[in-house]
Amino acid sequence: MFSMRHIGYVRSPYQDSKEIPKGFGTKHDAEGVLDLEPEFEPGLMDIEGFSHLFVIWAFHESDGFELFGTPPIDDRPHGVFATRSPRRPNPIGLTVVELLSREGARLRVRGVDMLDGTPILDIKPYLSSVPSERLRRGWLDEAEARIKS
Amino acid sequence: MFSMRHIGYVRSPYQDSKEIPKGFGTKHDAEGVLDLEPEFEPGLMDIEGFSHLFVIWAFHESDGFELFGTPPIDDRPHGVFATRSPRRPNPIGLTVVELLSREGARLRVRGVDMLDGTPILDIKPYLSSVPSERLRRGWLDEAEARIKS
């Protein structure tokens, strides 16, 4: 077992998960703040140089897990590891955000899809990407094709 | 506090962290296996459709953390959240791998940069990427420029 603690909280416009845009073509343009505990501020040195960050966070309102289920954007079940379901064996969320500015231990970012008050576990620089021509999106592409047809 | 448990282990060619390629232009082409506990196999349904996966894992050999330090690929210190240092407040690692094949609860992948025996915490589909023209790589680009000059 590994014990994880929050290093700060997400400030986002979403008070309820129903408010978070889901589905195909969803653009996560919402701005928010990664509000770190003051003790961790030294760990942000030089973070301003990165345009994008990985935010690793906890699904703090999720209880238990299901190994497969039907996502809101499809009518067929998929394995939990092939989805972003909050009901995971370890309730870990992952979001790529754009870093807009920093004020001390507060990072203003674009692209939040977490609830307001979500505990942050880690922040890492987003360094590289997989070329789009080499990326396959599995059941998501298939579900999208069914909806469009 | 959040308690996380392993859902499986990474099988990799690296027995010692010194063996893991680091530095600029490092290509992580090593093949390995994400060896999930049999109870989690149903959670992999439809994962074969994705070309790339996020693997979230634990730095199980890391002890304690430092808020800033000098990475092996630079001669200047940076904040821990601007690096991939293993000595983080929460010892969480993140790697993007290419999925080569699946046999039951075992995923053969390319791109491992973890030690053999690393505990896996979560697997998620890698869905999108930030266009390279919008990506800034902070101190990494600067350190690279200094080394090249």
Whether ipTM exceeds 0.85: yes
Look at A45 and B79 and tell me if their CB atoms are within 8 Å.
yes
pLDDT band at A24 (very low <50, low <70, confident <90, very high): low
pLDDT band at B109 (very low <50, low <70, confident <90, very high): very high
Selected residues 40-59 of chain B with any CB under 8 Å from a CB in chain A = 40, 42-52, 54, 56, 58
Quick: pLDDT tens for A37-80: 999 999 999 999 999 999 999 999 888 999 998 887 788 899 99
Coarse DSSP helix, strand, coil percentages of chain B, rounded to the nearest 5 percent: 20, 35, 45
Strand ranges (DSSP E) for A8-89?
Answer: 8-11, 31-36, 52-58, 68-69, 78-79
Taking the mean position of all CA atoms in its chain, how far away is CA B56? Answer: 7
- Phi first, then psi, for residue A38 (nearest 5°) are -55, -35
Fill in the amino acid letter for A146.
R
Contacts of A5 (CB under 8 A, 6+ apart): A121, B1, B2, B89, B90
Task: Evaluate whether B29 touches B110 at the Cβ level (below 8 Å).
Answer: yes
pTM equals 0.92
Quick: pLDDT tens for B27-67: 788 999 999 999 999 999 999 999 999 999 999 988 899 99
Look at B77 and A121 and tell me if their CB atoms are within 8 Å.
no
